[in-house]
Amino acid sequence: MLDLVIEGATVIDGTGAAPRTADVGITEGHIREVGRVTSQARERIAAHGAWLTPGFVDLHTHYDGQASWDETFNPSIHHGVTTVVFGNCGVGFAPLAPGDKQRAVDGLISLMEGVEDIPGVALAEGVSFDWQSFPEYMNALERMPHSLDFLVQVPHDPLRMAVMGDRALAQQVATDADIADMRRLLREALEAGAAGFSTGRTDNHRTTAGLATPASEAAAAELAGIAQAFKGLDHGVVQLVSDFNLLHGPEGFDAEFDLVELLAKESGKSLSMTWLQRDPGGEQWRAIRSRTDAAVASGLPLWLQASPRGIGVILGLDTTFHPLMGFPAYIDVASMPLAERAAALRDPARKARLLKETSGRLAGDGSAIPPLVDLMLARIEMISGRMFPLVVKDSQDQSHVDYEPPVARSLLARARQRGCSALEAIYDFLAEGDGSNLIHFPIFNYNQGSLATAREMLDHPRVLYGLSDAGAHVGTICDASSSTFMLSHWARDRHEGRLVPEYAIEMLTRRNARHLGLHDRGEIAPGMRADFNLIDPLRIAPAIPHLVRDLPAGGKRLLQTSHGYLGTWVAGQPVIRDGHITRERPGQLVRLGRHPSRALQ
């Protein structure tokens, strides 16, 4: 007898094949039958008109800390995701440096809070840190029940800090002995089933003290030496984020990309890197594409992680960052409760005062805010053409989020219509009502005032769905919803350049699973794990994000759920039913090279 049969669903199976109507039978956590299923079952669900898809695989999350206190990986669980990967961008919480454990913990918290905008007090209270080595970290997470499957990568920064201590933070060159120790610790983690290795090389990542991240300037010898830890293993991937020395001009691009190729060569593993249209540096993404194409043609397994929408921030009076926060007139009221603060800002005298002031410098020593923020604030009149009300109303007067707004809806356009400065238009918008208005500010992937560049990226044969950053930047973004956006916007609502649903689903599922070396998921086929979604294609959409205080120590974050997921199952057990998280906890740590990762025969 089968455990469950989904009847009459429109099956989009993850392979890229055209949708078809079929029943799907499930037992013991795996798919047993696809087609006309007449076998008896304990439960049958009529799904006529609904999409049945594989569960989504999110390559780029930062649940390194949240996995210690949140069993459900919220909000990813609300967006069709059944497998998450964390330990990205070179930051994480293991291994710990020997000796003074509290000092080691404090260093990693400062790093994660600065780079990924996760409140340090939440991390200090919510993460147990009952480990020393990376395998012990994996064991600690494995002991805790979870809704979704997860894989962990070994991040470069903690690895460097564990071996080099203060020399790592001082950006000193690693010795041969240091490199050998880092290689040994990475090998130990990989043999315990870690999914791979990640490193970060971007000026935008800073500790809470304003320092560059420890491995951001790691030399070629260090990267090559560490990568050799993969030799002889049949699993593992490499992940990298780099701005390719953008703030120092285009001269350093090729030298930085040479290091990408070096990592791929020395590791012998698939390497994926962040791919976006930056600003400044709007043409760099084309150079990355050209070098990647050439490298792939020469036999290197390079991949490009891209987002289906603009990469940026959500700005509001209660978010981590907004354009008023550096002005003395705002600082005077910054500690007030939100509604009172908004009311204080509506005082004409305070507004007149602020509009005459100059914003203080936010980045620099002692600040985790990246230099890019000050560069943008200095150009507020120009960049306001890329700031939009996040929530708009449709023709039926229903509110929804708009991630591809026209320039005519920008706050710059609003200012010109009123005959005022952009700063005044921003000020008035943020001060409205109870102060809860949010601004969508797509910094990257929006140089043309649309998602045309993102669409071009999604067509590339080496592109991977990524960059959700789920679990990170909790006070400025909620891009965990980008998987849902892929379906609502690109596969349904966009007037031009629409993706066929089977292509979008293949990107979200099978492609990412195979990149990781997972052959037991990502398809609706007999023998595969029963990780799947049941979706109402007419209702699927991201919900409006809102701020909640549900982090440890009362920390706040933006949370965004969804509409249209009738259910999400992991290993045959429902973890979402009609938009609500269930009590089922079938998720597990996936140890590559140790646990089976192939379909049942």
pLDDT (tens digit, 9 = 90+) per residue, 168-224?
A: 999 999 999 999 999 999 999 999 999 999 999 987 788 877 788 999 999 999 999
What residues are paired with 558 via a beta bridge? 547
Between CA 48 and CA 6 the distance in angstroms is 9
In Å, what is the CA distance from 489 to each residue of 155, 455, 471, 493, 535?
33, 11, 23, 5, 15
pLDDT, mean of residues 242-261: 88
- pLDDT above 80 for 368: no
**pLDDT at residue 601, rounded to an integer:** 56
159 against 373, higher pLDDT: 159
Helices (H), 268-370: 284-297, 328-331, 338-345, 348-356
Can you tell me the distance from the alpha carbon of 544 to that of 592, in angstroms, rounded to the nearest whole number?
Answer: 36
Q: Which residues contact 280 (CB under 8 A, 6 or more apart)?
A: 246, 375
The pTM score is: 0.96
Residue 207's pLDDT is 84
Confidence of residue 162 (pLDDT cuts 50, 70, 90): very high
Q: Averaged over 507-515, what is the pLDDT?
A: 98
**Structure confidence by residue, pLDDT tens digits, 75-133:** 999 999 999 999 999 999 999 999 999 999 999 999 999 888 899 999 999 999 999 99
Residue 364 burial class via C-beta count within 10 angstroms: exposed 0-12, middle 13-18, buried 19 and up: exposed
CB 213 within 8 A of CB 168: no
pLDDT score for 143: 98
Question: Do the Cβ atoms of 314 and 474 come closer than 8 Å?
Answer: no
Beta bridge partners of 444: 311
Share of the chain above pLDDT 90, in %: 89
* pLDDT beyond 90 at 364: no
160-175: average pLDDT: 96
- Tens-place pLDDT, residues 431-483: 999 999 999 999 999 999 999 999 999 999 999 999 999 999 999 999 999 99
- Residue 362: the pLDDT is 79
Using pLDDT thresholds of 50, 70 and 90, give the confidence band for residue 23. Answer: very high
Tokens representing 555? 């920390």
pLDDT tens, residue by residue, 472-500:
999 999 999 999 999 999 999 999 999 99
pLDDT of 600: 62
> What pLDDT does residue 251 have?
78
Backbone phi, psi, residue 158, to 5°: -60, -35
C-alpha to C-alpha distance for 96 and 459, rounded to whole angstroms: 41
**Angle at CA of residue 60, ends 515 and 256, nearest 5°:** 80
Question: What residues contact residue 432 under an 8 Å CB cut-off, 6+ apart?
Answer: 342
Eight-state DSSP code of residue 279? S
Task: Give the Cα separation of 301 and 264 in Å (integer).
Answer: 7
Which pLDDT belongs to residue 208?
77
Pairing between strand 557-559 and 388-389? unpaired
Res 595 pLDDT > 60: no
Give the bridge partners for 393, in sequence order: 399
Task: Calculate the CA 377 to chain-centre distance.
Answer: 25
The dihedrals phi and psi of 471, each to the nearest 5 degrees, come to 90, -5
Rg (CA), the chain: 24
Percent of the chain with pLDDT over 70: 97
Cβ burial of 221 (10 Å; 0-12, 13-18, 19+) is middle
The one-letter amino acid code at 405 reads: P
> Which of 264-268, 282-286, 376-380 bottoms out in mean pLDDT, i.e. has the lowest?
376-380
Q: Which DSSP category does 489 fall into?
A: I
| Dist. CA 322–CA 311, nearest whole Å | 16
Which residue matches tokens 């006529």? Answer: 48
What is the widest separation between alpha-carbon atoms in the chain?
75
Provide mean pLDDT across the span 7-16. Answer: 98
CATH code reported for the domain at 56-310+446-520: 3.20.20.140
Residue among 479, 559, 561 nearest 309 (CA): 479
- What is the pLDDT averaged over residues 253-270? 97
Does 366 have pLDDT greater than 70?
Answer: no
- What is the pLDDT confidence band of residue 370, given thresholds at 50, 70 and 90? low
Please, which residues bridge with residue 45 across strands?
Answer: 6
Q: How far apart are CA 274 and CA 464, in angstroms?
A: 10
178: phi then psi, degrees, rounded to nearest 5: -60, -45
Q: 456: burial class by Cβ within 10 Å (0-12, 13-18, 19+)? A: middle
Average pLDDT, the chain: 95
Tokens representing residue 385 in the block: 């053409």
- In angstroms, rounded to a whole number, what is the distance separating the alpha carbons of residues 439 and 394? 18
Domain residue limits, the chain? 56-310+446-520, 314-444
188 near 136, Cβ under 8 Å?
Answer: no
